[in-house]
Amino acid sequence: MKNDQHSHHEISLVVRRYLFVFGALLVGTIVTVLASFIPFGIVAVNVAVALFIATVKAFLVAGYFMHLISEKKMIYGILVATVFFFAGLMFLTVWAMRPASIVHIKNVP
Amino acid sequence: MQPVTTEAHAHTVHESHHEELGFWRKYVFSTDHKVIGIQYGITALCFLLFGFGLMMLMRWQMAYPGRPIPLFGPLLEKVLGAVASGGVMSSDLYNSFGAMHGTIMVFLGIVPLAFAAFGNFVVPLQIGAPDMAFPRINMASYQAYVVGGVIMVVSFFIPGGAAQAGWTSYSPLATIIKTQGQTFWIIGMVFLITSSLLGAVNFIATIIQLRAPGMTWMRLPFFVWAQFVTAFILLLAFPPLEAAAVMQLMDKLAGTSFFLPTGLMVSGQPLPISGGGSPLLWQHLFWFLGHPEVYVLILPAMGIVCEIIANNTPKPIWGYKSLVYSALGIGFLSFIVWAHHMYLTGMGTAISTFFQTTTMMISIPSVIILSALLISLWGGSIRFNTPMLFSLAFLPMFGIGGLTGLPLGFNFTDIHLHDTYYVIAHFHYVVAPGTIFALFAGIYFWYPKVTGRLMNEFWGKVHFWLSLLFMNLIFQPMFAQGMAGMLRRMADGGANYSLAKEPGALGALSDSMIHANTAISHAAWLLGLAQIPFILNFFISLKKGRKVPNDNPWESTTLEWQTPTPPPHGNFAKAPVVCRGPYEYSVPGHATDFTPQNEPVNAR
Amino acid sequence: MEIPYTVHARQDTGLYNAKLGIWLFLASEVMLFGALFSTYILLRVGAAPGTWPHGLLNVPIGTLNTIVLITSSITVVMAWASLKMNQFSRFKLFQAFTIMLAMTFVIIKSFEYHDKFTHYEVILNDGKVVDGHLVEKTQEHVVIHPAAKHGQHAAEVKIETSQIKKMENYGPWHNTYLAIYFTLTALHALHVIGGALVIAYLWGPGSQMWKTDPERFTNRIEVSGLFWHFVDLVWIFLFPVLYLL
């Protein structure tokens, strides 16, 4: 990687950002744990909340710690394709094996 | 490989940190992509021969069920014991040979040859690079391949023999067989998958990062594009199979129930397992790799054929852009068609329709590629040398293979054809007179660049015509057998379901369908004999073949032919500058019929 | 001719070779763990209603391990930033923390595993079930300490061996939830160990390269850091999925 961040000032700004992300990740963890104890009634809501927070944390790690936010298109392209195929694997397999969990059909064996 | 020209030698002296390497570092533990490519090639050809041998033995059992195998029967009995008692191939042995024939041909033969061998040798040269991006990882990936291959071969000799549940290793059968053949298969696969993943990373990084100045994406030879898409497929499709393999291993060794359903009974006894698993899960994870895998088998072949057709017409390829976009389309779509291997598992109609649709869609780019190659022949002044003969035959053979896939892609026709010999005929047409012909073409074509000598043309043509004839004699009747209802993987060649056994039974196999087995087997053995001229030609030409008149005996435009023969370590003294596209053949007004990619634009 | 772009980025991609390489590898790892996550979903959705276990894992310990990994992510990126600022000794300090946090994670995990392997479900001949931790096992009897119910104190239970129909601990064979739990976390732990070994090598003998080729060394720290962040990312999803839901 090119040495494009030479000055100490720039680095200290970046470090401050890292620490902010760190704090956000800790907060996210605590919130996830606490939220799991809230009885929403429907399991799907607990799942959605947990996965949403996890996704936000993931974006923070990937975007800032892994510098994805300043990366060029090439890496994005690879990751978008990967996520698409992963989603395809997950979604299509569940649809094929347990259609009732996706589509509301009565009397599905 | 010794540097041949003085220019290359001067350069090795120039770069003082390139000391002369000893035998082991130069030929065994090499990080040079050319050496690794040759290592992959030789190893893969050996495995192809071995896998072919397994099939030739199986074909005896199919033609003459229950009769001792001549010549090899006593040997099998001596080495493997009870499974070949009396020199007769037992059903268990037939099953393990069948499972390993598929595994070896696909994972130890075709993929290493088409992707790793040809790709490693040719791609860095064609893009103007000094080597692959990660030479040491390249060496590691070859070593992982060898380890995986050794494990697979060793599995034949353990008690109980090799894996028996098909190359598809469906659970629960694969798990409940008490012997350890499947365990070896799984561990072998983990090494092979690791090898492929490392290779895929290397190829993609190399093609993206190490293209020479002026080598834009749209100036890449189609062979490089094909390898690029193949690498992406391997990178993203193999890991789910690796996960599934780990889970199947845990089912076998740790008593888990990933793929074992509740209430599973074996030999009348309930298995002491937790249950709760699903055999279908294995199928999904397997075919998520299994389907993209077949595009791994065909794309490099299409790439090779494209290079050779352009060179021997000699004309620019028609529809270069459509070839590129079709390859990309195939790569993308290949990930969302897999359940067409599972139409009979009780999927709902909606999801089944989804997979039928995507399966039909993926046939379009395949047809575009075939059409572009076919149209490229129009108006050409065709040179019928051995590589070109194999490449020309590829076109109709792949056409038959592809078209016969269509009834399999629709679930209503697949009901009749699934798991029959029709399927075997379909995919063998694509891989055998399809891919393997393209690989033969590639060997005859690039042999002079690797060795400095040409293979014998006469014996090359003998090899070609005999192989073409016998491959068709083997696989053409299988379409009929499949449509008549002959199922796959039957150790007695279908005798149990024949009219001879049950006269008058509805749907039983007729005498002609059963007797076709004998004809097919004879054709298979003759095909084996027809490879002897090729093997002899390959080795004898190393010493006695006609020496190449210059570095570019085929008068090709691509960069690998602009290097010394064989190319020295580092390939190019300095990076070539690419000024033109890959197929500037027969440019009007040009002195020669070919214009190399790095020839400057103004000089004529 | 030397291989270009091993240290400096290629203009049009903005990447040096190893960075592209590690991202490609991480893409394949996404598919690997993705397949296992898909397996989790399918096994759970396919389980008969009410049979999917809850509360088998210790949430505070899992939370602690999550914080350990997140902290190690910040120390690993600070280690790289220190090299960018030419502060080699701070790099050494931060990276030492990373390695120690990694070891902490694995140690805590092994305690969790041990807890599962000493937790037994004993089914007696008369159909009764005793479920708890193994206190003592001899040829004639076993002593189980059942899990205490809310607020109550549970006494140890001694069972004669002849009374036992089936005795199985909470390993991956016990049910499909534990099967996927052990598979996912063990694979993840192997990645933690692997990553820690690479980081430790680059901290120790590998750090010699700082003197001869500091830019290339910094790149290696960046690449190993990217792998480490991925390991953290996987855990960010593993923790709620396995421990909380």
CATH number of the domain where residue B311 is located: 1.20.210.10
* Residue B441 domain flag: yes
C173 touches chain B (CB under 8 A): yes
Burial of residue C226 (number of CB atoms within 10 Å: 0-12, 13-18, 19+): buried
Question: HEC states along chain A?
Answer: CCCCCCCHHHHHHHHHHHHHHHHHHHHHHHHHHHHHCCCCCCHHHHHHHHHHHHHHHHHHHHHHHCCHHHCCHHHHHHHHHHHHHHHHHHHHHHHHHCHHHCCCCCCCC
Residue C144 and residue C156: Cα distance in Å, rounded? 6
Q: Do C179 and B239 touch (CB under 8 A)?
A: no
Tell me whether residues B238 and C5 touch, CB distance under 8 A. no
Name the closest residue on chain A to residue B209, using Cα atoms.
Answer: A74
| Number of domains chain B contains | 1
A4 pLDDT band, cuts 50/70/90, is very low
CA B2 to chain C, closest CA, distance in angstroms equals 17
Q: Give residue-wise pLDDT tens across range C153-199.
A: 778 889 898 999 999 999 999 999 999 999 999 999 999 999 999 99
In a domain, B7, yes or no: no
B2-B8-B14-B19 Cα dihedral, nearest 10 degrees: -10
Question: How confident is the model over B100-159, as pLDDT tens digits?
Answer: 999 999 999 999 999 999 999 999 999 999 999 999 999 999 999 999 999 999 999 999
Q: B523, B415, B411, B428: which is closest to B479 by C-alpha?
A: B428
Residue C131's SS3 state is: strand
* Inter-residue contact A14 to C81 (CB < 8 Å): yes
pLDDT at B589 over 50: yes
Cα distance from A96 to chain B (closest Cα, Å)?
6
Q: Which of B404, B454, B395 is nearest to B424 (CA)?
A: B404
Smallest CA–CA separation between B166 and chain A, in Å?
22
Do residue B200 and residue C24 have CB atoms under 8 angstroms apart? yes
Supply the ipTM of this predicted assembly.
0.95
Domain range for B122 is 39-259+277-562
| Cα separation, B280 vs B561, whole angstroms | 50
Quote the tokens at residue C64.
Answer: 């602690």
Residues B489-512 have pLDDT tens digits of 999 999 999 999 999 998 899 999
User: CB-CB: which of B236, B254, B277 is closest to C43?
Assistant: B277
CB pairs under 8 A between B and C: 132
The verdict on A76 touching B (C-beta cutoff 8 Å) is no
Q: Which domains, and CATH codes, for chain C?
A: 18-23+56-116+173-244 (1.20.120.80), 120-169 (2.30.30)
C-alpha R_g of chain A: 20
- Distance from the Cα of B206 to chain A's closest Cα (Å) equals 14
Element containing residue B461 per DSSP (H, E): helix B457-483
**Chain B: which residues have CB within 8 Å of chain A?**
208, 232, 236, 240, 278, 280-281, 284-285, 288, 332, 335-336, 339, 342, 347-348, 350-351, 354
C17:B236 CB<8 A: no
Report chain B residues whose CB lies below 8 A from the CB of C35.
Answer: 239-240, 242-244, 285, 288
What DSSP designation does B116 have? I
| Distance between B295 CA and the closest CA of chain C, angstroms | 18
Whether chain B has a CB inside 8 Å of the CB on C32: the answer is: yes
Q: Please give the Cα distance from B398 to B291 (Å, whole number).
A: 17
DSSP string, B13-40: HHSTT-PPP-HIIIIIS---HHHHHHHH
pLDDT at B549 over 80: yes
Q: Is residue B591 part of a domain?
A: no
**Radius of gyration of chain C measured on its C-alpha atoms:** 23
Place C151 in a pLDDT band, splitting at 50, 70 and 90.
Answer: low
Q: Using CB atoms, which residue from A3, A50, A61 is nearest to C240?
A: A50
Residue B569 lies in a domain: no
Q: Residue B603: which pLDDT band, with cuts at 50, 70 and 90?
A: low
pLDDT band at residue A102 using 50, 70 and 90 as cut-offs: low
d(CA B506, CA B486): 13
Give the pLDDT confidence score for residue B3 in this predicted structure: 42
How would you class B483 by CB atoms within 10 Å of its CB: exposed for 0-12, middle for 13-18, buried for 19 or more? middle
* Cα B73 from Cα B51, distance rounded (Å): 17
Residue B248 in any domain: the answer is yes
Strands (E), B424-576: 453-454, 546-547
Q: Do C85 and A11 touch (CB under 8 A)?
A: yes
In a domain, B550, yes or no: yes
Please name the chains neighbouring B, where neighbouring means 3+ C-beta pairs under 8 angstroms.
A, C
Report the distance separating Cα B218 and Cα B214, nearest Å: 10
Which amino acid appears at position B532 of this protein?
A: I
pTM here is 0.94
Q: How far is CA A96 from the centre of its chain?
A: 25
CB C47 within 8 A of CB B280: no
In a domain, B568, yes or no: no
Tokens representing C18 are 């190893």
Please answer yes or no on whether B351 and A95 come within 8 Å at the CB atom.
Answer: yes
Contact A61 C240 (CB under 8 A): no
Any residues with CB less than 8 A from the CB of B87 and at least 6 apart, and which?
A: B68, B69, B72, B73, B74, B76, B77
Answer yes or no: are the C-beta atoms of C76 and C195 closer than 8 Å. no
In chain B, which residue's Cα lies nearest the Cα of C19? Answer: B205
Bridging pattern class, strands B269-270 and C119-124: unpaired
Residues A26, C67: C-beta atoms closer than 8 Å = yes
Instruction: Inspect the interface and report whether the beta carbons of B235 and C172 lie closer than 8 Å.
Output: no
